[in-house]
Structure 1
Amino acid sequence: AVERYGHQAVMTRGDHATGTDRIAEVVERLGLAADSLVVNVQGDEPMIEPGLIRAVATLLADTPEAAMATACHSIRDLGELFNPNVVKVVLDHAGLARYFSRAPVPWARDAFEASARDLPEGLPCYRHIGIYAYRADFLRTYPRLERSPLEEFEALEQLRALWHGYAIAVAVRQDASLLGVDTPEDLERVRALFDRVGHKR
């Protein structure tokens, strides 16, 4: 399908632990320059728009201290925050990721201990969107980094970068219209949306 649209496809080995390890193989095989930017749009995010892809790539280009960039949007309901299939990201004041987790973070101690039914007003909680931009030289380094316990327990590959001190810049998207596919129910929702708008599946 990729080649039918005039692009190059690369088949990688089947033994990679993560998608980032897989992309590192592609960078080596294509011989990309160290300062090249590589964007990974994951297959479980079929609703990602071209504008978001550009925004993440531009953010990385404009943030020289970051090895990677990604995106997130605000979480607006309690169910989403407590869903382990929804990856959350905690940001610092500069928009860099401090942690990614399947757990409900940040934890609003007083509100949640009182059995809150709604998100506390002003709680800065964000859902990670499955898109990454990388610097090619970082991708050559990534497979040689030791996997961290956090990466293995959370099953989140970006935690390897944070564990080893690499910065990840995060673009905050204001709307929450993206539908990720993490469960069979998510897949049915996306299929129904495609049917409504006349998209081929």
Structure 2
Amino acid sequence: MSVLVVIPARFASSRYPGKPLVGLTGASGETRSLVERSWWAARQVAGVEKVVVATDDDRIREAAQGFGAEVVMTSTDCQNGTERCAEAHAVLGGGFDIVVNLQGDAPLTPHWFVEDLVSGLQDDPNAHVATPVLRCDGRALNGFLDDRLAGRVGGTTAVFGAGRHALYFSKEVIPFTPQRYDDDADTPVFHHVGVYAYRPDALAEYPGLATGPLEQLEGLEQLRFLEHGHAILCVEVAARGRQFWELNNPEDVPRIEAMMAEMGME
């Protein structure tokens, strides 16, 4: 089973321009760009045949090649990371059994999240796509609620049915929770981790699918799959003491750096 990991990296983000090149300082005091830390996270995943950075920007290409990454140049017409992964897979000539989209804003992604994701997709023949979900503790959920109260878009949450196929994803906190929780308490909310594993046929079909109203409203690329009847498997992953957060806004930089310092990540 051959696995390709693609790290889509776009400079012209509407919410945070230049985000892939933002520096993050680790516990050792060394500063590395977001895209480099995401690439390093991808290289820790077992069973991966190839890791590439997919971009349409020469600044990101030069930075990525500077730290040793293989780069695939893609079109400026790609609307999101999934379309960029589809194009990168095609440029490489296809042939991989599973393509993983490790979005470049998730440098804290542990290797076992991706390994569990690939295993989950292999074991569910009815799923076209798989994505990890992490049960929020009170600390994470309260952070989501604080972001929404402040008018910030924080993490994405997911709800799924008995077969763990996704029902919906949202930038709002779903399901509704009328209370706050102690930091270490389990909650009924699942944080959607921004990683995807695709079967190649579903990935190749995606760019030709019409963008639906839910994707437009939420700004979540995975909703295009749901709106067109594709099954997305939600694979519950375990934190194992690791903290996880995505870099969505400039305010997230000190939050992530504090987590890296607490976990001793260089």
Q: TM-score range by the shorter chain?
A: 0.7 to 0.9
- TM-score normalised per structure 1: 0.84
Unaligned runs of 5+ in 1: none
2:130 is the counterpart of 1:66: no
3-state DSSP of counterpart to 2:113: helix
Shift of 1:90: 0.2
Q: Separation in 1 of the partners of 2:64 and 2:189?
A: 36
Specify which structure has the bigger relative contact order, considering alpha-carbon pairs within 8 angstroms and separated by 6 or more residues.
Answer: 1
Unaligned runs of 5+ in 2: 1-62
What do residues 66-104 of structure 1 show as CA deviations (whole Å, max 9, x unaligned)? 111110111233524534412110011111111001122
Q: Which residue of structure 1 lines up, in the alignment, with residue 5 of structure 2?
A: none
Query: Which residue is 1:161 aligned to?
Result: 225
The answer on whether the counterparts of 2:142 and 2:180 sit within 8 Å (CA) in structure 1 is no
Give the conservation status (yes or no) of the 8 Å contact 2:116–2:237. Answer: no
What's 2:43 paired with? none
Which of 131, 142, 153 is equivalent to 1:79? Answer: 142
Partner of 1:57: 118
Distance of 1:2 and 1:69 partners within structure 2? 27
Alignment CA distance shift 1:103-1:27 (3 Å): same
Amino acid at match of 1:79: N
**Cα pair distance change 1:123/1:8, threshold 3 Å:** closer
**What amino acid sits opposite 1:44 in the alignment?**
D
- RMSD over aligned Cα, in angstroms? 2.4
Q: Does 1:18 align with 2:18?
A: no
Could you tell me the percent identity over the aligned residues?
34
The 3 A distance-change label for structure 1 pair 144 and 11 is same
State whether structure 2 residue 152 is matched by structure 1 residue 89: no
Question: Cα distance, 1:182 vs. partner?
Answer: 1.6
Shift of 1:39: 0.6
Residue 178 of structure 1: aligned partner: 244
Q: Is the 8 A contact 1:18 1:157 kept in 2?
A: yes
SS of match in other structure, 1:151: helix
Is the CA contact (8 Å cut-off) linking 1:150 and 1:159 kept in structure 2?
yes
